[in-house]
Structure 1
Amino acid sequence: MLLETVGLDLGSSPTEQAKLEIGKGPPLRVVELYAGAGGMSLGLQRAGFEVVRAYDHMQSAVDIYNRNVGYHAVVADLGNVASIAPEIAKLKPDMIAGGPPCQDFSPAGARIEGERANHTRTFALYVCSTAPEWFMMENVQRARNSAAWADARDMLKNAGYGLTQLVVNAALYGVPQKRKRLIVVGRLGERDGFLLASIQQAATPEPMPLRAVFGNLFGDHVYSHPRALDRRGVWSVDEPSPTIRNARRPQPATYAPHRNDSNYSEVSGLYFRPFHDARGVYTLDEPAPSIVRTSRERPRSSYIDNPHPDDPTPAATAYILTQNDTSRIQGFPADWDWSGCLSRDVDQMIANAVPAPMAAMLGKEILRRERGESQPDVPGNFGQWLTKEKRMPSQMVANAKWRVKRARQLLGGRDLRCLGAEAYALETAFEREGLAKAKRSEIRRALRQFREWQEHLQAGI
């Protein structure tokens, strides 16, 4: 049935209607693919989702995920769709989420589409074969122009999903780094762009600076006289101290600060190993560049001798990041347990992660729409079209826009692609609300005009 295909719940019983109320009903169940160390799952949990299963091919990533997020993750070859898709279908998830491998698209990679790029198609196969109401996919922004995403998009559209596709800057979604990522949110039966305005409006007015993460973590510090000139002397009271020796003494006035001293709140620059001709030094009052596996490497002599002209301070005196620093910048909690893995593998897992704060903000917008707490915007261009094409005076234009908004409220925030399904759902809502016939007619007319305007836009008229 068409109405079942688009995921409509048109029942009018009190129990069914209560699910649309704020905070009511069970949490949405989500399965994550390519879960890595658990950044996306952590964010979705914070948003209010129930994570029921997560898959990744790396045993070390699964171990870290289970130790920190919860015992949902299993090791699996996600290329084996025939075996894993039936398992996911039995879980009956409301959403499939994940960030397929992006190295083939990444500016830090070879930019040649190979086996890893093919996982974008695999992600779409899982969504199409298990048919959850929602999906959310994250990837690097270059993926939007790839052949792999073009194929995946066609599969998802043919399966009945409306797509909201945009590139977001993580610095505007709770993460102190300028990390631009492609986000695609799909929902069965919707029109394309159905969640675009809500995600854009969720962005903060200003990017998050590094100080938001590190500014209150410096605490108290102690001086332990270094045994060699190349060792640091300042240690935080929140970390293990060096071996206590008779050499403990007050910090001398002549002590030259070491780049790894814990009181780096006074340091005016942090070094992030740059790619190509990018900057290497950043202040605490701006976002970091996108975290990659090599972000915390020390500056090479070639960079020190030939620094970027926009560096705020010399790289030789800038603070050198620790692994815990890059973990925090990527959105992991301070107490995240990375133990039991090779340091290089941890650096890679941190770099590959979907930042939890960003996933949480996106997840909240999905849940708000699921619960009918938000509706798609009515663009101002619609009013301009009514004025020009329908010769409507300003008051009638305002009334028509309000009635379209009212229709979307009655539809629980749905922006349905099928006009028949939309009309059926609207009539059901009219009956539930007990609206007068005149009000019903006005809302129907306004919604018809809105759809006519949309068709003109699509046709380029």
Structure 2
Amino acid sequence: MPRLVDLFCGCGGMSLGFQEAGFDIIESFDNWAPAIATYSANFNHPITSLDLSDSDRIISHLKDRDIDIIIGGPPCQDFSIAGKRDFLGNRANLTLSYAKAVTSLAPKWFVMENVYNIQKSPIFQEAIKIFSEAGYGLNIRILDASLMGVPQQRKRCFVIGKMGAKDNFLDQIIDSKLSTSHTTVRQYLGETLGTDFYYMHPRSYNRRAIFSIDEPSSTIRGVNRPMPATYKFHPADKCTDYSKIRALSYIERSYLQTFPNGYKFKGSNAQIEQQIGNAVPVKMAEFVATIIFENF
């Protein structure tokens, strides 16, 4: 089994997807205690609390390990469309730390995941240059989770690197495996939510907030609030009957992120919501992981 290390593992969405695809995770890393507690409750391999802004510490910790693949999603707040973007901020620099760690440890493969907006960042372009100059062929793709078996329209940027390969080496394989239709909540969860309509707190009330289970959900974020009694319906809302609409619990939202029933979350409700919103959907990670595993 290929031996894997997960940097910036969070609560474990990407790890679980790769584990399900057949990878042997030898160690994972993060620096946020609630996410580490959740991860520890669901996996048997070690997770280490480490400040990942210092690539030298990562390299020193892992330099003698036999690693086939490194995966990770450096925190994305500085690139996110959800707030004020700071392409040169402290969190953006974690992308460079990740790139330097990967190229120093030189596994055969790596995967870096982030928000699709990262491609506009000069930090991202610098990281790509680091990977390329180290000899990695790169596949850089914006992927939609709802075309990968996830009942959620969540677009993410994946950079998949293989030492010695040509750029875009997986494009045809990825395209051949993507679904031609979007996965709906009903298709994935059936009737288990017990409602046909639900409230998803919007970034702005200029956007709709009422969704049907006969479509993919919107992107799961780290904020979850009940439906306000004073909510004014948006023209695109799927239902306008208050009695038929409710907000989802964090466990239900974790299902939309394709975490399995029984996955244990640790921390306050706000911390758990943040963990779930930050996670890579498990089935999205498994889709990418399966392609890599089959071409290892």
TM-score norm. by structure 2 comes to: 0.95
Amino acid at match of 2:60: P
Which residue in 1 is equivalent to 2:119?
144
- Residue 268 (structure 1) shift: 3.2
> 2 CA distance for matches of 1:368 and 1:71?
23
Asked if 1:268 is matched to 2:190, the reply is no
> 1 CA distance for matches of 2:241 and 2:23?
43
The one-character-per-residue Cα deviations of 1:168-194 (angstroms, maximum 9, x if unpaired) are 000111211100000110001111100
Correspondent of 2:219 among 284, 287, 290: 290
Higher relative contact order (CA 8 A, sep 6+): 2
> 2 CA distance for matches of 1:153 and 1:58?
26
Correspondent of 1:70 among 34, 44, 59: 44
> 1 CA distance for matches of 2:271 and 2:187?
27
- Residue 301 (structure 1) shift: 4.9
Which residue in 2 is equivalent to 1:55?
29
> 2 CA distance for matches of 1:353 and 1:334?
16
Correspondent of 2:186 among 194, 199, 211: 211
Amino acid at match of 1:275: R
Note the 1:387-426 alignment, pairs <5 A: none
Asked if 1:159 is matched to 2:87, the reply is no
Contact 1:280 1:315 in 2 (8 A): no
- Residue 118 (structure 1) shift: 0.8
> 1 CA distance for matches of 2:188 and 2:252?
9
TM-score norm. by structure 1 comes to: 0.62
Which residue in 1 is equivalent to 2:94?
119
- Residue 315 (structure 1) shift: 6.6
Asked if 1:102 is matched to 2:76, the reply is yes
> 2 CA distance for matches of 1:106 and 1:64?
24
Q: Secondary structure at the match of 2:14?
A: helix
How many percent identity over aligned positions?
A: 34
Q: CA RMSD, aligned part only?
A: 1.4
Correspondent of 1:45 among 2, 11, 19: 19
The one-character-per-residue Cα deviations of 1:399-442 (angstroms, maximum 9, x if unpaired) are xxxxxxxxxxxxxxxxxxxxxxxxxxxxxxxxxxxxxxxxxxxx
Which residue in 2 is equivalent to 1:81?
55
Amino acid at match of 1:215: G
Q: 1:315 to 1:42 in 2, by over 3 A?
A: farther
Structure 2: state its 5+ residue gaps.
none
> 1 CA distance for matches of 2:201 and 2:247?
10
Amino acid at match of 1:316: Y
Greater helix percent: which structure? 1
Number of equivalenced pairs: 293
> 2 CA distance for matches of 1:62 and 1:74?
8
- Residue 368 (structure 1) shift: 1.3
> 2 CA distance for matches of 1:28 and 1:37?
22
Contact 2:226 2:246 in 1 (8 A): no
Q: 1:310 to 1:217 in 2, by over 3 A?
A: same
Asked if 1:310 is matched to 2:284, the reply is no
> 2 CA distance for matches of 1:146 and 1:337?
35
Q: 1:315 to 1:89 in 2, by over 3 A?
A: farther
The one-character-per-residue Cα deviations of 1:127-160 (angstroms, maximum 9, x if unpaired) are 1110001000110000011111011001111100
Contact 2:56 2:101 in 1 (8 A): no
> 2 CA distance for matches of 1:175 and 1:315?
27
Contact 2:220 2:277 in 1 (8 A): yes
Which residue in 2 is equivalent to 1:300?
228
Contact 2:54 2:97 in 1 (8 A): no
Contact 2:140 2:158 in 1 (8 A): yes
> 2 CA distance for matches of 1:356 and 1:333?
9
